[in-house]
């Protein structure tokens, strides 16, 4: 990556940026030094909020631009024409429809800043958010490697270029061992955290084992939100199950194993039911925990070790981005969070603190399979086994599944087996949603080789659903389409209908239950 044309810094909470003066490979302003060395950006300062690096490079007015998302995507990933105010987290690609060339830039995974790009007709800018909560970080003269910046050359097609870009940004991670397929049951999209007990959980486990039909790879059966006291998403402590319903979590895990499935468990690590001494000072109700306290990392470690001791082989940790920032991804924007508050340790950037939190979970989990949900993908890469890359699908509204599930699979699939195993979220089988459409989503996810979880309402089971579910589950347990899949019409469609597979191009109708089943052509 060539060095930037200009550098700007922001020290305090004000929005004004100061132009830095260049001296060799270092730019300085307002007590902040920004050093550039072959793409590595080092920042030395007493106090700093943001750094902006600008490259002057004219782009064709017809260019299409693609970016990523802060955490999950929300059905909003797409190629768009130039939109200078559009924030593009982590990386971007530009495609010139006249020449067919696709290029771009991004940052390596696990940076120490929240990094985003803006692209306009005259060039592009990398914004390094070095804040702590809603205020400046007190580096106190420390030199911080904020990010490692990469440029991406055309690799043949836009899809191939994105695949190569993702591989480049994750090249410093340890090589991923060949991951076993992650396939299983999850009760959220028919139970929604309510009115289920151990009997229902064991019925889910028996169902997924039945549908796997003797496949040598064992499926998971995940106990999602609602197994503990306090109500849906209410927070910890996570030391016991709901009294009178889940009195023996170790016994529940053992019973799932006895049925032939691998037990999994959901939890929300950074929220407690009652406010305490280590709560976050930022926006919210005072019950979110501040992960910059060492005591909180100790607590999270104890939780993970407890779950493992109970016998759970998979843990899904959820809501941590919301609990740190007080916002979900679409509301984070360029400010990330409300101004005027900071985490307990103001000497580290929020990115550093979130990374330390993810690393603690990874270390504590040991060989437990970790799913990150509402986790920051570019920071969690290499620290979770599976990443929920899109917002929730639905067992009540097919349109939500189409918008969220198909979109995230199409635009983040290149991250699969490079950053983590991609999880486009569950395939529902419920009386409230049209099975003909859910079946098409099942077929696509199974072919993709990404994580496949199904939410099967016992009331929706028929011979037809069981046959399709079994076919999809067994295909997914076998790793999907060995040749890989690729969206064909993703330049012009946010939920692509045409997908290239090893057996040819498959066309899906996402709108009409009475439409044709997937057709190869």
pLDDT in tens, the chain (521 residues): 999 999 999 998 776 899 999 999 999 999 999 999 999 999 999 999 999 999 999 999 999 999 999 999 999 999 999 999 999 999 999 999 999 999 999 999 999 999 999 999 999 999 999 999 999 999 999 999 999 999 999 999 999 999 999 999 999 999 888 788 999 999 999 999 998 999 999 999 999 999 999 999 999 999 999 999 999 999 999 999 999 999 999 999 999 999 999 999 999 999 999 988 888 777 777 899 999 999 999 999 999 999 999 999 999 999 999 999 999 999 999 999 999 999 999 999 999 999 999 999 999 999 999 999 999 999 999 999 999 999 999 999 999 999 999 999 999 999 999 999 999 999 999 999 999 999 999 999 999 999 999 999 999 999 999 999 999 999 999 999 988 999 999 999 999 999 999 989 999 999 988 766 666 65
Measure the CA–CA gap between 67 and 180, rounded to whole angstroms: 29
pLDDT at 161: 98
Task: Identify the helix (H) or strand (E) that includes residue 297.
Answer: helix 294-310
Two tokens, residue 360: 């603690």
Q: 24: Cβ–Cβ under 8 A, 6 or more apart, which residues?
A: none
- Assess contact for 221 and 258: CB atoms under 8 A: no
Phi, psi angles (nearest 5°) of residue 212: -70, -25
Measured N-to-C along each axis, helices 198-212 and 249-259 cross at an angle, to the nearest 10 degrees, of: 20
**Per-residue pLDDT at 279:** 82
Give bridge partners of residue 10 from the DSSP assignment: 50
pTM of the model: 0.97
How buried is 320 (Cβ within 10 angstroms: 0-12 exposed, 13-18 middle, 19+ buried)? buried
- Length of the chain equals 521
- Residue 140 is predicted with a pLDDT of 98
């Amino acid at each position: 990556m060539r060095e930037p044309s200009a550098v700007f810094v922001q020290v305090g909470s004000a929005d004004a940026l100061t132009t830095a003066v260049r001296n060799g490979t270092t730019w300085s302003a307002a007590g902040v030094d920004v050093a550039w060395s072959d793409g590595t950006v080092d920042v030395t300062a007493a106090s700093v909020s943001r750094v902006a690096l600008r490259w002057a490079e004219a782009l064709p007015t017809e260019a299409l631009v693609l970016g990523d998302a802060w955490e999950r995507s929300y059905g909003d990933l797409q190629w768009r024409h130039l939109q200078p105010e559009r924030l593009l987290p982590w990386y971007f690609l530009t495609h010139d429809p006249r020449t067919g060339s696709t290029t771009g830039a991004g940052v390596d995974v696990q940076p120490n800043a929240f990094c985003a790009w803006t692209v306009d007709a005259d060039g592009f800018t990398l914004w390094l958010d070095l804040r702590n909560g809603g205020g400046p970080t007190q580096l106190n003269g420390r030199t911080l490697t904020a990010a490692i910046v990469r440029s991406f050359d055309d690799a043949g097609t836009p899809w191939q270029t994105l695949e190569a870009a993702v591989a480049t940004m994750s090249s410093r991670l340890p090589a991923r061992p060949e991951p076993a397929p992650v396939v299983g049951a999850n009760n959220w999209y028919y139970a929604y955290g309510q009115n289920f007990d151990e009997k229902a959980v064991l019925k889910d486990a028996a169902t997924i084992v039945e549908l796997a039909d003797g496949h040598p790879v064992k499926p998971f059966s995940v106990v999602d939100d609602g197994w503990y006291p306090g109500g849906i998403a209410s927070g910890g402590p996570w030391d016991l199950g709901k009294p009178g319903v889940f009195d023996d979590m170790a016994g529940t895990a053992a019973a799932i194993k006895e049925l032939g499935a691998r037990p999994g468990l959901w939890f929300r690590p950074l929220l407690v039911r009652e406010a305490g001494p280590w709560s976050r000072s930022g926006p919210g109700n005072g019950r979110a925990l501040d992960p910059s306290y060492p005591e909180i990392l100790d607590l999270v470690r104890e939780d993970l070790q407890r779950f493992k001791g109970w016998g759970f082989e998979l843990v899904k940790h959820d809501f941590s981005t919301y609990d740190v920032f007080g916002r979900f991804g679409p509301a984070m924007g360029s400010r990330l969070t409300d101004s005027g508050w900071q985490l307990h340790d103001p000497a580290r950037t929020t990115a550093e603190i979130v990374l330390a939190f993810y690393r603690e979970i990874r270390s504590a989990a040991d060989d437990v399979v970790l799913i990150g949900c509402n986790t920051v993908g570019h920071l969690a890469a290499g620290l979770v086994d599976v990443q929920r890359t899109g917002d929730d699908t639905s067992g009540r509204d097919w349109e939500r599944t189409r918008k969220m599930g198909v979109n995230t699979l199409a635009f983040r699939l290149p991250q699969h087996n490079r950053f983590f195993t991609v999880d486009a979220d569950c395939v529902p089988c419920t009386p409230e949603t049209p099975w003909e459409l859910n079946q098409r989503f099942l077929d696509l996810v199974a072919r993709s080789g990404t994580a496949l979880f199904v939410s099967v309402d016992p009331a929706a089971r028929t011979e037809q659903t069981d046959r399709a579910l079994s076919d999809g589950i067994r295909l997914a347990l076998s790793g999907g389409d060995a040749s890989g899949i690729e969206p064909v019409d993703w330049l012009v469609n946010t939920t692509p209908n045409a997908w290239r597979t090893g057996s040819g191009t498959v066309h899906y109708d996402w709108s009409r239950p009475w439409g044709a089943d997937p057709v190869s052509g």
